[in-house]
Amino acid sequence: MIAYLVLFLVIAAVIAYFVASRRAVAVAGDDTRGLHSRPIYHGLNALVYTAVPAFIFILLWLLFEGSVIDMMLMSAYPGADAMTGSERDLLISEIRQVAVGNIFREPTPEITAAVEQIRSLNATANILLGAAVVIIALAGAALAVTSVSKRFLARHSFERSVTIFMIFASTVAILTTIGIVASLLYEAFQFFQRVPVTDFLFGLRWEPQIPLREDQIAGQGAFGAIPVFVGTILVAALAMAVAVPVGILSAIYLTEYASPRFRAVVKPMLEILAGIPTVVYGFFAVLTVAPALRQAGLSLGLDVAPNSAIAAGGVMGIMLIPFISSLSDDAFAAVPQAIRDGSLAVGATKGETIRKVLLPAALPGIVGGVLLALSRAIGETMIVVMAAGLIAKMTVNPLDSVTTVTVQIVTLLIGDSEFDNPKTLAAFALGLMLFIITLFLNLIALRVVRKYREKY
C-alpha cells in the first residue's frame, strides 16, 4: 500500500513538473525573458508542492497508525484495563499474528472478534490514508500549476523550500541529542522509581538477574553500580596504560626522528589500527590474546582468568594507539620550529629538546587527546562484551575478570525489549551515567585544549 502511494507521488510529481514548466513556457509566449523565474523553477516548485506535503503526511501517519489502532483495539477488548503493559503487548502481538494468518492455537472468541476489528480498522485506515494522500498531492499540484504566471516568483518559492529543508537538516543533530537525553532520562526515571538513586549510585552489589515470575528461583536482584564502575575504570585504566606511552612515544619518533619516507609509510599503517572494527578486536582478544596471557600467567604461577581485565584492556589500548598518536602528532606539529631551534642552539641535545621543551609546550594538546581517548575507552563496547566478564566483582586485580558499564547494557538488553522490569530499565540508567561521563570528559578535553594551548 505504502509502496504504491510513494510510486503514485513520484509519478504525480514528475507530471506536475512537466505540466508547470510547459505552462510557464506557454505563458511566456515568444520571449521567455518576460518570466520572472525560468520554466525549470516553475516545474521544480510544482514538484515540491506535489510530493513533499503528501510524503510528510505519510510519514506522520505511519508513526501514529500502529499505536492508535492498538489503543482502539484495547478499548474494545474485554478486560484489557486490568492487564499489565507486557500482557497487553503480548495480546496485541497475538492478535496481529492471527490477523496475518499465523495461527498457533485455536483463538478465543475475544481474539477472533479483535481480529475482525483489526482487519476492518486496517482496511479503513488504508482507504483513509490513500484518499488523504491523493487529495493532498493533487491540491498541491493544482496550487503550484495554477499559480504559474509571468510575475510568479517560482525561484524564490522553490529556494524557500530548499532552505526549510536545510534548516530541518541542521536541527537533526539537536533532535538526536534531545532524543538521546529524553529516552535515557525517561527510562532511567522509571528505573529510579523502582530502585532508589542512592542504592544505584552507592550500592556495592550488582546482581541484576531478578525473578520474572513469582515462583522462579533466582537472585533477589541488587542494583548497586559501584562494582560495575570499578570494573569500567580498571579496564579503561589498563587500556590507557598501553595506549598513552606507546601513542606518545610513536608520535615523538614519527615527528622528530623519522625520515619523511618512513613517516609516509608508517603513519597510514598505524591509522589502519583505528579503522579495524571493534568486533574484530574483540574476537582477536578472545582468540589470541586471552589464551596467550593465560599461558604466560600459568608459566609464572599466576592465575589469570579466561576473560581477564588485562586482555580486554590491553587490546582496547592497542585500538587507541593511533588515536593518541595522531592527536599528539598534531600537538607537536603546532609547536613552532623557532622553539626547537632555540633549544638546540643553546646546546641541548635533540632528546633534551623533546623532553624539556617540546613536551611541555605540547602538553595541553596531549592531555586533551588522552581525555578524549579515555572517553572512548569508557564507551567502547564490543571488545569488552566479547573479552571481559559478566559478573560484577569489586576488584582492581587486572588478572581477574570484571564487568563494565557497556557490557552490562548490552547483556541486559540483548533479546529483551520489555521496558517494564528493573532489569532492562537498569540498562538505561547505566546508559545515562555513561552518556553524562563521556559528555563531561569530552567537554573538559575541548576546554583544556582551548584554554591552555600556548599561543605562539
Partner 1 sequence: MSNAAETPTIPRPAWKSPEMAARRRKRYAADRRLQRCGMAAIVFALGFLVLLVASLLYTGASAFIQTKARVTIDLTSADVSADDLMGAPWRRIVRGSLLALEPTEIPRSDRRAYFRMFTSSAPFLVRDHVIANPDLIGKTFQFEVPFSDPLDQFAKGQISRDTPEDRRRVSNQQIGWFDNLQASGIVSKPFNWGLIFNSDSRFPELAGLAGAISGSFWTLLVCFLISFPVGIAAAIYLEEFAPKNRLTDLIEININNLAAVPSVVFGLLGLAVFLGWFGLPRSAPLVGGMVLSLMTLPTMIIVTRAALRSVPSSIREAALGIGASRHEAILHHMLPLSMPTILTGTIIGLAQALGETAPLLLIGMNAFITSPPEGVFSASTALPTQIYIWADSPERGFVSRTSAAILVLLGFLVLMNGLAVFLRNRFERRW
Closest distance to partner 1 from the beta carbon of 141 (Å):
23
CB nearer to partner 1: pick between 8 and 283: 283
Q: Which residues pair with 206 in a beta bridge?
A: 223
CB nearer to partner 1: pick between 194 and 350: 350
Closest distance to partner 1 from the beta carbon of 159 (Å):
5
Determine the Cα angle at 247 with ends 268 and 372, to 5°: 100
Which helix (H) or strand (E) covers residue 3, if one does? helix 2-28
CB nearer to partner 1: pick between 136 and 318: 318
CB nearer to partner 1: pick between 309 and 387: 387
Helix residue spans in 77-153 (DSSP H): 85-99, 109-146
CB nearer to partner 1: pick between 211 and 351: 351
For 195, phi and psi rounded to 5 degrees?
A: -120, 125
Closest distance to partner 1 from the beta carbon of 389 (Å):
15
Burial-class residue 100 by CB neighbours within 10 Å (0-12, 13-18, 19+).
Answer: exposed
Q: Taking Cα atoms as reference points, which of 306, 269, 272 lies closest to residue 289?
A: 306
Residue with cell 514548466: 21
Closest distance to partner 1 from the beta carbon of 138 (Å):
26
For residue 77, give the DSSP letter. S
CB nearer to partner 1: pick between 395 and 411: 411
**For residues 365 and 359, what is the distance between their CA atoms, to the nearest angstrom?**
10
CB nearer to partner 1: pick between 169 and 346: 169
CB nearer to partner 1: pick between 146 and 171: 171
Closest distance to partner 1 from the beta carbon of 338 (Å):
21
Which three cell numbers mark 142?
493544482
Contact 308, 293 (CB under 8 A): yes
Closest distance to partner 1 from the beta carbon of 89 (Å):
10
Closest distance to partner 1 from the beta carbon of 422 (Å):
16
Closest distance to partner 1 from the beta carbon of 90 (Å):
15
Residue with cell 507530471: 15
Contact 130, 54 (CB under 8 A): no
CB nearer to partner 1: pick between 111 and 386: 386
Closest distance to partner 1 from the beta carbon of 249 (Å):
4
Residue 365, CA distances (Å) to 142, 252, 359, 368 in order: 60, 14, 10, 5
3-state SS, residue 206: strand
Q: Taking Cα atoms as reference points, which of 141, 168, 113, 196 lies closest to residue 17?
A: 141
| Alpha-carbon torsion, ordered 415, 419, 421, 425, to 10 deg | 90
Contact 172, 50 (CB under 8 A): no
Closest distance to partner 1 from the beta carbon of 106 (Å):
26
E-strand ranges in 138-241 read 206-207, 222-223
CB nearer to partner 1: pick between 15 and 339: 339
Q: Which long-range contacts (CB under 8 A, 24 or more apart) does 293-297 make?
A: 297/399
Closest distance to partner 1 from the beta carbon of 409 (Å):
6
Which three cell numbers mark 147?
499559480
CB nearer to partner 1: pick between 19 and 200: 200
Burial-class residue 33 by CB neighbours within 10 Å (0-12, 13-18, 19+).
Answer: exposed
Instruction: Give me the amino acid identity at 295.
Output: Q
Residue with cell 597510514: 268
